[in-house]
Chains A and B, each alone.
Chain A
Amino acid sequence: MLEVKSLRKEYGPLTAVKGVSFSLNPGDIFGFIGSNGAGKTTTIKMIATLLEPTSGTAVLNGADILGDPMEVRRQIGYMPDFFGLYDEVRVWEYLDFFAALYRVPSVDRPGIIDNVLELTDLTVKKGAFVQSLSRGMQQRLCLARCLVHDPALLLLDEPASGLDPRARAELKELIAELGRMGKIVIVSSHILPELADFCNSVGIIERGELLACGPVEDIIQSLQTARCLMLKSLSDPVELAAFIERLPLVQSARSHDATSVAVEFLGGLEEQADLLDAVIRQGYRVVGYSEELVDLEDVFLRLTTGAVN
């Protein structure tokens, strides 16, 4: 379990991270969202023990980042937003080097290297030089490096940046698989729709402050006071909007275009069905009825102002 407690980082008068707190359980995939300079990387680096927090701490399975950084490092796989690959080193040598750094016994290393290469689909490239790999493969190799010591927590800083759609989809699947393996995964990314696909919780950070944190649905729910319904009919939308506005639980209704009416509705699913029933009974010819779902991007845009430190 990872507990981040009031993590704060100050650089003189500048506060990069302002008391960030959250906790994650094994299997959680946490999406860390924020603009450039919001404090994501600083927070991740503090958890990775690469930066000393001004105050606050983080505890990973009982090991404190301040009190026992070496134990924390043993349990962490850190993948920054750059590759950091060596030239003239083969794929297996690169993994062997990091496995040795993480004190993996030399007798176990060949087997572990084979396993992580298989997991990241790089087995055929085992003997290749790392500089000869494509960007997507290098990204997967970096992930393989993070896995050689079987960490409990994976810190992935912008893992999908610069990848083509196929490589991105593969990476997404891989991260979801790691979550299923019981690892805690923290992923920071700008590509919000992707995060929503496989993250079961997110944290939105701006100017070092965690604006929202928790399961994706809960955050959307907490922001969404009214459901947005879209009603498409063959009738006059202005007249239909006027009718709907008089119905109970309707906050507002306005014609969206020549055929549609947008409705802000406060009721649940039952009441939604009643609303549709009332419209049809009134003789309006409805051809479409759907709820406009708020996605992570909307939530992010609503919560943040785009300000940076």
Chain B
Amino acid sequence: MAVQTWLLETTRTYFGNAASRKDFRVQMRGSKPFWIFTAYVLCLCFIGVWTYWTSIGREGLSLSSAQSELTGFFNSLIIMLGAAICVISPALTATAIVAERQRLSLDLVLSAPVEPKYLLVGKMISSYRYTWMLLILALPIVAMSVVLGGATWKDVFSCFLLLSFHAMIFTSMALLISTFVNKPAAAVIYSFIGVAIYVVASSMLAATALPFSFGGGASTHPPFTIALSPFFVLQAVNSSMLIGSVEVPNWLLAGVFTLLLCRLFLLGAAVNLAPLDKRISANLRLTGLLYTFGLGALIPYSIHPAMPAVVGASPELAPDPSLYVLNIGLGSICWLFLGSWMLFTYGRTGSRRFWPNGHFSLRHTLDGTPAGQLPYALLLVGSGLLGAYLGNRWVGGDAPSDSYAPGLLWPVGFVVLAWGLGHLLSAACREMKSARAFHFCAEMVIFFGIPLLMSVARTAPSWVKTDSDMPTSGLWYLWPFAPLIDRGQFWLAWAYGVVMICIGLWFKLWAVNLEGRRARELSYAG
């Protein structure tokens, strides 16, 4: 019975979704779509013909260079489509929810017996379908490469498949951003910023993935991270990765990664739409735990086999085995670092979703309320470290057992610091938005402050062995991330952890004091 209900609900959500059907009617209404599609196709034709004539359409070209130019023609078309997707997908999706909020129809939809998921999936389908239509319209032009001999149909469809994965990521990311902001213009701008950050990060990851494959540079199999950038589609299209002794195509792994990332974005969006729905909050938080575990396991799995190559290349960088654990500690909290400004802050006025309901309560770990923030963050750290430990063991890592304690204490200290700061800013700022903005800025200062200052002063960390005349400075030790780089200094990581915990608790006490004072003022005014 439960399975039948689930099937019915899933069918209703993904096929015949009323929100997507309504949006489709609006998208296709009138002559506007005809002119948009015509302009798009003409634009593609123009670029295609121009690229063709500048590369291939020259006289006196030998057969081999013509073949190479044709491949180049195909490559440039795919890169152009990748760029188009980076622009079109977020632009189409960014206003999906914020427009509903602006025209005040969101409350009407949410008062109907539908989960936020229904609306989000509907919006995603309508935007994604439009992107797909644009991809299909580009097919005849890309197919020219097949006809002329620059690529095969398999290449074309594989590229389109990878591009559609990226479109799906950008669509869900823009949808998440659309639930955060209140103005359509801001939603579009933030979506483009989000996509730009993703593209830069994934391209960097893809670029480093090429020389440092999971086989430690010895293997010809690039990792699936190469398939995560829309500008590395051509390199990723026929690649595969070795997992154990099994060769898995990278497009498949990229597809799994896309689905996981989209799930995360959509869950985040659903929590924003229904912040008081404890089931969705718990779902998001459990997903977060699982992903952190996976991230923790992936980092040692990917780093460890590559280390001999690094050591061989530059012995002075030879890592202490214990470094793995500290790096893994950092890896497991990367996730937190990106999200702590959202995780630990709350407002005090209309923008507030939650009011303080205690300082530390295990009962509230998964419901997203302030009392559950620290237990949940600590669970995240635990989950990341457990993943890291297992990943390290899996690849036969030799990190000494006494390195785990500082590896654990440093992220705990970092989390307590971020938590205390979040509560202090929530108590000090009137709006949740301001608290979040200040928290984000504080994080940026913590992360980039000292390195930026030291690079301006042209001083290197004192633990770096350098042959140059660059002076070193002990000020680098003010950087909270110093013990993760100063290899093997377990006691230092331990000490930093303790100091950060103390500062975090001090911030929290300050916040309690501020909130108490404000409550007294309010009761006096009342």
Contact = CB atoms under 8 A, between A and B. Distances in A.
B111 interface: yes
A74 B25 contact: no
B18 A97 contact: yes
A73 B526 CA distance: 36
A88 B109 CA distance: 18
Contact of A52 (B105, B108, B114, B276): B276
B111 A70 contact: no
B22 A86 contact: yes
Contact of B18 (A49, A85, A101): A101
A50 interface: yes
A1 B30 CA distance: 47
B433 interface: no
Contact of A74 (B29, B113, B352): B113
B29 A88 contact: yes
Interface in B176-221: none
Contacts of B29: 88
Nearest to B32: A88
A78 B108 contact: yes
A295 B521 CA distance: 41
A89 B25 contact: yes
B18 A100 contact: yes
B103 A85 contact: yes
B112 A101 contact: yes
A73 to B, nearest CB: 4
A146 B118 CA distance: 20
A13 B18 contact: no
Interface string A79-98: 01011111111000100111
A78 B105 contact: no
Contacts of B112: 73, 98, 101-102
B263 interface: no
Nearest to B523: A13
Interface string B304-334: 0000000000000000000000000000000
Interface residues on A, range: 20 to 34
B522 A78 contact: no
A48 B22 contact: no
A93 B22 contact: yes
Interface in A46-62: 48-52
Contact of B26 (A49, A50, A88): A88
Given A89-B26, A101-B109, A11 B104 contact: no
Contact of B519 (A13, A52, A71): A13
B25 A49 contact: no
B103 A84 contact: yes
A178 B455 CA distance: 74
A263 to B, nearest CB: 43
A80 B113 contact: no
Contacts of B25: 89, 93
B394 interface: no
A145 B107 CA distance: 13
Nearest to A82: B104
Interface string B1-40: 0000000000010001011011001100110000000000
B117 interface: no
Contacts of B114: 101
Contacts of A85: 103, 105
Contacts of B522: 13
A11 B354 CA distance: 9
Contacts of A13: 519, 522-523, 526
A76 interface: yes
B53 interface: no
B430 interface: no
Which residue of B29, B105, B118, B519 has the most chain A CB atoms within 10 A of its CB atom?
B105
B108 A49 contact: no
A149 B526 CA distance: 44
B355 interface: yes
Given A86-B26, A88-B26, A103-B113, A145 B523 contact: no
Interface string B68-108: 00000000000000000000000000000000000111111
A165 interface: no
Contacts of A268: none
Contacts of A102: 112-113
Interface string B468-491: 000000000000000000000000
A87 B102 CA distance: 12
B103 A78 contact: no
Contacts of A88: 26, 29-30
A85 B348 CA distance: 31
A12 interface: yes
B43 to A, nearest CB: 25
A95 to B, nearest CB: 11
Contacts of B107: 50, 78, 80, 84
A96 B348 CA distance: 39
A80 B107 CA distance: 9
Nearest to B525: A13
Interface in A32-57: 48-52
Contact of B105 (A49, A70, A84, A93): A84
Interface centre among B16, B114, B523 (most CB of A within 10 A): B114
A145 B105 CA distance: 12
Nearest to A14: B522
A86 B111 contact: no
A12 B113 contact: no
A50 B25 CA distance: 28
Nearest to A88: B26
Interface in B276-321: 276
A73 B113 contact: yes
Given A84-B105, A84-B107, A93-B22, A11 B113 contact: no
B444 to A, nearest CB: 30
B148 interface: no
- Looking at B18, B19, B26, the one whose CB has the most chain A CB atoms below 10 A away is B18
Contacts of A12: 348, 352, 355, 519
Given A13-B526, A74-B113, A96-B18, 6 more contacts: A71-B113, A73-B111, A80-B107, A97-B19, A97-B22, A103-B12
14 contacts: A12-B352, A12-B519, A48-B111, A50-B107, A50-B110, A74-B113, A76-B111, A78-B111, A84-B103, A85-B103, A86-B22, A87-B26, A88-B26, A101-B118
Interface of A: 10-13, 48-52, 70-71, 73-74, 76, 78, 80, 82-89, 93, 96-98, 100-103, 145
| 7 tightest Cβ-Cβ pairs between the two chains A and B | A100-B18, A84-B105, A101-B112, A73-B113, A84-B104, A78-B111, A82-B104
